[in-house]
Chain A
Amino acid sequence: MKHLKVIFILAAVIGLSACQSKVEYGDATEVETVNENFGSTDLQAIAAKMVDSMLTFPPVVAMTANDRPIMFVDKVKNKTSEHIDTESVTDSISNKLLRSGKFRFIDMTKVDSVRKQLDYQNNSGMVDPSTAISFGRQIGAQYMLYGNLSSIVKEDGSTKDVYYKMTMRLMDLETGLIEWSDEKEIRKVKSKSFLGM
């Protein structure tokens, strides 16, 4: 009986300590495989591939040799079966392109805020007219960057195969020509463990 008590207390202690959760910092660029869903590693792989491909593409190199072309990023259309924040993908890509010093960007998501601010500067009567930025002085974009993210998911009893394809294109707004295009494929296979909780 006494033994039983000791064993019980031991089990309780082990059980309690196992339940304690902890928080740790990890490396943001570490490979993440918590599950097969679209994750940070996929996002980073896509952004790196797209930016590399674009900056080394000869016509784009020529285009940016003496000039910093202005572009804007249209939405990446999410055609997968997961709720993915595609704005975050385009943010990473535009960040990298901007940091390369070869392009300049217009942020279309902030047009409304800018309009409100200019409206305030020009029409509220609160701002010194000589310092107010007047309407119609912004520079138009020459290129549009856009893309599609699609996926194919297949599943049978124990295996799940997820395939992602991100396609991106750069369009010259004046001529309508596609100046650059590339795709990044990602395949993830998940197999169920045989024994577990």
Chain B
Amino acid sequence: MRRLLLLTTMMLSLSGCAFNSVFINYPSQIAPVKAQLNSATPQQAAKIVESEVTSADGLLYAQEAGRSAQIAGDFEASKTFYQQATNAYRVFDDKAKLSLSDAGATATSLFINDNVIPYRGPGYERVMLHQYQALNYLFSGDAEGALVEVRRSNELQSSEQARYQKSNKSVQAMANGTIDAEVNKLGKAAGSTTSSFLNAYSYYTTGMLHEILGEPNDAYIDYRKAAQISPNNPYLQKDLVRLAKQLSMPQYDEFKKRWGDAILPKKEEGQVILMLERGFVPEKKSLTVPFTIHGNWQTASLATYFPTKQTVRAGRIQGLGTVLIAAPIANIDALAITALKEDLPAALIRQAARVYAKSEMAQSVESESKRRNNQTDYAAIAMQIFNVVTEQADRRSWLTLPEQAQIARTYIKAGNYSVKLDNAAPSSIEVKSGRTTLIWVIDTGNYTRFYSIII
């Protein structure tokens, strides 16, 4: 037994595991960050997680800190945090195929829980990281830097696309009792359309940045992909018709027939593009199943998403001529659910191995003589408590992401306007003829923040 404990401690120190989310579940750590973001002092939010950026889960905390700074409007600080997250992804990319620290972390996870494995975000989070970094560059006035980030997310998008077919099959091929029901439930919550695998918002953002920074041909490619994922968005349809006409693409006639002719700006008009992000992506919940092996209590905990009933309202934008109704482009929660679904097979294998390891540990401390004499076996009880307490579901995910992204676009005469979303306080923007005003609206529930830039 001593040896086993020694081994465990050794492995713990070898993998340099993150104790942060090992015993305290991740959503409750991020709750104060979200509370700050939804208050009058969003600048405080990034400070809460700032110190964790260097931890083993640094990648995740850097993403949270970057996003928090971004919501607060501190694009320079956000850029630094996102850069740290990018570097952390790089370290994962550069790791050897058989990595000792990975093996150490996986081994430790057999005695504790999956939270000791350093966080490595799902594909959609990584694409969104670069998408948001591109907006950071744009809003701090570096268009060329923004395009670099756009190209990075394009590269990642194409590898996600390639993975999409493969994972679709692997998810379907899985079958495993109660867990199967859980996977099915997740499948229903996320839907099985392309939009639950690929992020139309990322494609739209990269396309939009390509377009406003003078690369309409690249924009057309991204818009088409976004339209394949989210075919019913009217603004996206108009964008496609317009670009097809401007670039004299062969699809122009077909698009024109389906969605009407292109609307082009008049001479004295400027373009207004609005991106609206609403709410926060849902948290992972834990599903715990208690059972006994050889009379010893054990639990198995898996992360899952409970279905949410409320739908996100479409934003009503007043102050730009007729009332603009924003149209949803992507549901981030569906992407998160699919990412979890893809992760479940591996999590299940680790879970099974963990149940075995923990039951062996419990059995090894049991004293036969004590059991025979009906004495209390404190060691066995302590082991069972250890096993139950350490069994925590892996509930880590990027939680400061929005729940839904919506878009709107219009042409309006040059001048100053006071724009208002729903019942939030109005914000003034400027429109110049022949130029584009990009408005980024982040609605965290109680507060709505407007950022705009003229390109």
Chain A interface residues (CB < 8 Å from chain B): 35, 77-83, 153, 155, 157-158, 160, 192-197
Contact = CB atoms under 8 A, between A and B. Distances in A.
B144 A192 contact: no
B148 A80 contact: yes
Given A78-B148, A195-B99, 18 more contacts: A35-B90, A35-B94, A79-B151, A80-B148, A80-B151, A81-B155, A155-B155, A155-B159, A160-B93, A192-B95, A194-B96, A194-B98, A195-B96, A195-B98, A195-B100, A197-B95, A197-B100, A197-B101
A158 to B, nearest CB: 6
A83 B145 CA distance: 6
Interface string B77-116: 0000000000000100111111111000000000000000
Contacts of B154: 81
Contacts of B152: 81
Interface string B118-152: 00000000000000000000000000110110011
A83 B97 contact: no
Contacts of A196: 95-96, 98-100
Nearest to B90: A35
Nearest to A194: B97
Contacts of B90: 35
Contacts of A194: 96-98
Q: Which DSSP category, helix, strand, loop or mixed, fits chain A's interface?
A: loop
Contacts of A78: 144, 148
Interface of B: 90, 93-101, 144-145, 147-148, 151-152, 154-155, 159
A195 B101 CA distance: 11
A35 B99 CA distance: 18
Contacts of B101: 197
A32 to B, nearest CB: 16
Which of B90, B144, B145 has the most C-beta atoms of chain A within 10 angstroms of its own C-beta? B144
Nearest to A84: B148
Given A81-B155, A155-B159, A192 B96 contact: yes
A82 B148 contact: yes
Nearest to A151: B151
B99 A81 contact: no
A83 B148 contact: yes
A192 B148 contact: no
Contacts of B144: 77-78
Nearest to A36: B94
A155 B94 CA distance: 12
B99 A197 contact: yes
A81 B148 contact: yes
A110 B154 CA distance: 35
Contacts of B98: 194-196
Nearest to A191: B97
Nearest to A155: B159
A82 B86 CA distance: 12
Contact of B96 (A35, A80, A83, A197): A197
8 contacts: A35-B90, A78-B144, A155-B159, A192-B94, A194-B96, A194-B97, A195-B98, A195-B99
Q: Which 6 residue pairs are nearest across A and B when measured between Cβ atoms?
A: A196-B96, A81-B151, A193-B96, A81-B152, A195-B98, A194-B97
A26 B259 CA distance: 62
B105 to A, nearest CB: 12
Contacts of A35: 90, 94
Nearest to B142: A83
Contacts of B97: 157-158, 192-195
B174 to A, nearest CB: 22
B40 to A, nearest CB: 34
A39 to B, nearest CB: 15
Contacts of B155: 81, 153, 155
B410 to A, nearest CB: 31
Contacts of A155: 155, 159
Contacts of B151: 79-81
A192 B93 CA distance: 9
B325 to A, nearest CB: 36
Max chain B C-beta neighbours (<10 A), residue from A81, A83, A158: A81
A83 B148 CA distance: 6
Nearest to A195: B98
A160 B96 CA distance: 13
B143 to A, nearest CB: 11
Nearest to A160: B93
A103 B145 CA distance: 31
